[in-house]
């Protein structure tokens, strides 16, 4: 089972054996506690539920506190599920470290929440072109025609139309990134390229789905 949660610290660069600079994202992944195992017989799918981070007891619901206490588990701030092969080999209460999960050269997917940009117009949000800025035009950065007529189209805006609205702050998965280094002593994971989210945000690193399906 290859999967772990961590916090994005930011980007830097490292050098390989040939002296080439490699841009990497540094992820601090403390040991993740295995909380629950999902099985096909009981739940219909195989997965492992993992938790990381400290949280005050008063911030956790009473029923959840009692459940953790009965099973001898530590309360976790963040709880996520990984649908990965080999999940049933783990046991609740076990801890997974970066050294257990990954090695240099592994191909991984990183899941995070993208940076929120707030309310944005169609030019910034969707890349629309602006209108003319001269000859008396007053139509510069607006949406434009909505492409619907009263007859036939029903005189309405069809679902899926690209309009102004909230931009960013969505779950994003970046596929097929390579693990450059694993620092088990400091719980650091260096992954080539950029990953979703701002500094200090939670990310999930898992074995690449496309690799499991045999894609190149």
Return the CATH number at 109.
2.40.30.10
**Sign of the CA dihedral 216, 114, 8, 24?**
positive
Phi, then psi, of 64 in degrees rounded to 5: -70, -40
| Judgement on whether residues 59 and 161 belong to the same structural domain of the protein | no
Closest CA to 176 of 111, 107, 85: 107
| Judgement on whether residues 41 and 64 belong to the same structural domain of the protein | yes
Q: How many CB atoms lie within 10 A of CB 102?
A: 24
| Judgement on whether residues 46 and 89 belong to the same structural domain of the protein | yes
| Judgement on whether residues 88 and 8 belong to the same structural domain of the protein | yes
| Judgement on whether residues 10 and 23 belong to the same structural domain of the protein | yes
d(CA 176, CA 99): 19
Q: Note the helical H segments in 117-160.
A: 122-126
Inform me whether the pLDDT recorded for 111 exceeds 90.
yes
Tell me how many domains the chain contains. 2
Domain of 149? Answer: 124-168
For 16-59, write each residue's pLDDT tens digit: 888 899 999 999 999 999 999 998 888 888 899 999 998 998 99
| Judgement on whether residues 198 and 105 belong to the same structural domain of the protein | yes
Closest CA to 73 of 29, 28, 32: 32
Confidence band for 126, pLDDT divided at 50, 70 and 90: very high
d(CA 64, CA 75): 9
Model pTM score: 0.83
Confidence band for 163, pLDDT divided at 50, 70 and 90: very high
pLDDT score recorded for residue 203: 96
| Judgement on whether residues 146 and 197 belong to the same structural domain of the protein | no
| Judgement on whether residues 75 and 160 belong to the same structural domain of the protein | no
pLDDT score recorded for residue 171: 96
pLDDT score recorded for residue 27: 97
d(CA 2, CA 205): 8
| Judgement on whether residues 153 and 68 belong to the same structural domain of the protein | no
| Judgement on whether residues 71 and 158 belong to the same structural domain of the protein | no
| Judgement on whether residues 108 and 25 belong to the same structural domain of the protein | yes
| Judgement on whether residues 93 and 187 belong to the same structural domain of the protein | yes
Q: Which residue has the higher pLDDT, 210 or 161?
A: 161
When the pLDDT of each residue in the chain is averaged and rounded to a whole number, the result is 89
């Amino acid at each position: 089972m290859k999967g772990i949660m961590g916090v994005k610290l930011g980007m830097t660069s490292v050098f390989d054996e040939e002296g080439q600079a490699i841009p990497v994202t540094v992820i601090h992944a403390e040991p993740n506690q295995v909380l629950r195992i999902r099985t096909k017989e009981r739940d219909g799918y195989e997965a492992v539920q993992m938790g990381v981070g400290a949280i005050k007891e008063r911030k956790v619901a009473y029923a959840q506190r009692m459940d953790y206490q009965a099973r001898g588990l530590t309360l976790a701030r963040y709880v996520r599920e990984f649908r990965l092969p080999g999940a049933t080999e783990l046991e609740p209460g076990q801890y997974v470290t970066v050294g257990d999960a990954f090695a240099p050269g592994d191909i991984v997917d990183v899941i995070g929440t993208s940076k929120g940009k707030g309310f944005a117009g169609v030019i910034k949000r969707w890349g629309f072109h602006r209108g003319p800025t001269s000859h008396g035009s007053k139509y510069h950065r607006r949406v434009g025609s909505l492409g619907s007529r009263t007859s036939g189209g029903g005189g309405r805006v069809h679902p899926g139309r690209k309009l102004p609205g909230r931009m960013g702050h969505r779950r994003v998965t970046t596929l097929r990134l390579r693990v450059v280094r694993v620092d088990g002593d400091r719980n650091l994971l260096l992954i080539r390229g950029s990953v979703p989210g701002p500094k200090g945000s939670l990310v999930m690193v898992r074995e690449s789905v496309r690799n499991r399906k045999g894609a190149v």
